[in-house]
Amino acid sequence: MGATFFSLALFGFCSLTAIDAVFAERRLVAREVGARLYRPWAWTAAQLTVDGLLLRALPALLYSACAYPLMGFSGEPRRAAAFFAVLSGYAATVGALAVALASALPTPAAAALALNVVLLAWLLFGGFLVNAASIPAHIKWVRWLSPLSYAFEILATTELAAGPLFSADVEGVPHLEQMPGESFLRVLGLDPSRAALDAFLLALCFLAAAGLAFAAGEARLRAR
């Protein structure tokens, strides 16, 4: 669980690199859009495609190939593919949000600060640092805005729900023998039956972040 959470956190913060790419091309893109060489949405589409494939999916593939077997996971091709797909999807979502913030805010520092605050909130409500079932009702809605919580629940379910049986020996708690992975997940406040819904919501989060990137890029370039 810790390795899964670390992997998502790593790729989330690595997506900050998308901010530099936007600011590096800002003046050139504004000049070319002003000259009607292309429309603002075309640049945003190209930026999201290159960022998603080369800077998110490719590193996720290399990371998964190296780290997945070292973390002692099941090793089944289906589960390894799910690990890569979810990791790259989450990284692409954060990358799209980074493009949106970089397009909307005036400086790289402001965009980086805003994205860091968002990522820290996602980490806090992601399902690992705080038990999802213990979150007070009046702030529990924050968890549903966190794509990390969907990605974490999918990866945890993929590895544990239909996996081996576990034994737990914790001080102050009766010894548990042959505990199913699904029971372990529910103790952590995770619901294995939501994996398909989580995948849909993670994809929806990417589309929402991409939509914000298109809207912010369009507004900034039209205003020049």
pLDDT given at position 99: 95
Model confidence over 144-168: pLDDT tens digits? 899 999 999 999 888 887 766 777 7
Model confidence over 21-55: pLDDT tens digits? 899 988 888 888 888 888 889 999 999 999 999 99
Q: Which domain holds residue 30?
A: 2-223
pLDDT given at position 215: 94
Report the mean per-residue pLDDT for the chain. Answer: 88
DSSP string over the chain: -HHHHHHHHHHHHHTTHHHHHHHHTHHHHHHHHHTTSS-HHHHHHHHHHHIIIIIIIHHHHHHHHHHHHHTT----HHHHHHHHHHHHHHHHHHHHHHHHHHHHSSSHHHHHHHHHHHHHHHHHTSSSSS-GGGS-TTTGGGGGG-HHHHHHHHHHHHHHTTS-EEEE--TTS--EEEEEHHHHHHHTT--GGGHHHHHHHHHHHHHHHHHHHHHHHHHHHHH-
Number of domains forming the structure of the chain: 1
